[in-house]
Amino acid sequence: MDLLRRAGSGDPGLVQIIDAAMAEAARKSGSWLACRPGCTECCMGPFRITALDARRLRLGLAELAERDPERAARVRGRAELAVTRLSIGFPGDAETGVLLEDFADDERYAGWAGDEPCPALDPATGLCDLYQARPITCRTFGPAVRCGPNSLGVCELCYHGATDEQIAACEVEIDPDGLEAQLLEQLEAETGAQGATIVAFALGRL
């Protein structure tokens, strides 16, 4: 059974909007994009994910367990080991896995655990075992994405030789109606889930 669809229309709808925007960004960017299967630059080091991302990942792992129990067990095992390693010096509550609100902007944690691979990354293939359930950050990393009114994010491996104007011409706005924020409010109201975490804690503390 498709557990991701059982989660309701809201999150799958968000994923559809995001993926459509990224497909357009990829079309605009063409050969400037370095993103390819096996490129794992963006899979190294913990990064902030939302409670919505965490739920999507857990549902994805449950779905994988139905299709391929051994593969799912490997993901879970990697996540549990990562939690053990990352609990030391964790920038937040190591019991719940909730990050400090300013984790991404706190200079004390710049480069924290930067060599730590994402637990969903299969080290043998360089591919994501939970690709269909990956967080929004993973879905939007690489192409030129408008992250705010004055922030344009791109992967440092992409757009080599492109001018600022050429990069700007490739940009897309991924969630113009703020659907993700609405869904997070709804999730908090329904389940009490709040606060950001990282992939290891989302999967290693089921």
Confidence at residue 176, expressed as pLDDT on a 0 to 100 scale? 86
Confidence at residue 205, expressed as pLDDT on a 0 to 100 scale? 84
Confidence at residue 109, expressed as pLDDT on a 0 to 100 scale? 83
Confidence at residue 106, expressed as pLDDT on a 0 to 100 scale? 80
Give the integer Cα–Cα distance in Å for 74 and 92: 26
Mean pLDDT by 10 residues, the chain (206 residues): 49 93 93 90 93 96 98 98 95 93 82 92 96 94 74 81 91 89 93 92 90
Domain that holds residue 156: 3-204
**Spacing of C-alpha 84 from chain mean position:** 21
Q: How many other C-beta atoms lie within 10 A of the C-beta of residue 168?
A: 12
Give the integer Cα–Cα distance in Å for 19 and 143: 12
Confidence at residue 103, expressed as pLDDT on a 0 to 100 scale? 86
Residue 38: which residues within 8 A CB-CB, separation 6 or more?
125, 126, 127
Domains in the chain, number: 1
Confidence at residue 153, expressed as pLDDT on a 0 to 100 scale? 73
Give the integer Cα–Cα distance in Å for 193 and 52: 9
